[in-house]
Amino acid sequence: MKAQSMIFSREYIGYLARRTVKHLVDANMIHTDQAALVEERVTAGMIEELSLEDRINDEVRIILEAYQQEMLKSGAQYAEMFKKVKGELARKYKAVL
């Protein structure tokens, strides 16, 4: 599988995680003596969520590659099938894209 190409850099996601944790602590919504650990976990969660669309796109490509011959025979358009399969996978994974 290819490297993930998220819309945001890992550095920016880390920045967002730090700001989010700081806001939650400042607003007394969470309390922690290990802010760095919480920031690390929030960063990991954000990266996981933001890379979901990349993983779905990769899975769509694999599926369509397997059906390439049938698509050629039926005259199906790749872009149209990509969109349809991506929508189905998004529903399967309960993803909002």
Q: Domain spans of the chain? A: 6-50, 52-97
**What confidence score (pLDDT) does residue 5 get?**
61
In terms of pTM, does the model score above 0.85? no
Cβ atoms of residues 81 and 60 within 8 Å:
no
**What confidence score (pLDDT) does residue 50 get?**
86
Q: What angle do CA 72, 76, 79 make, to 5 degrees?
A: 115
**What confidence score (pLDDT) does residue 1 get?**
42
**What confidence score (pLDDT) does residue 67 get?**
93
Segment-wise mean pLDDT, segments of 10 residues, the chain, 97 residues = 67 96 97 96 93 93 94 93 96 88
- Alpha-carbon dihedral angle through residues 62, 87, 2, 64, given to the nearest 10 degrees: 20
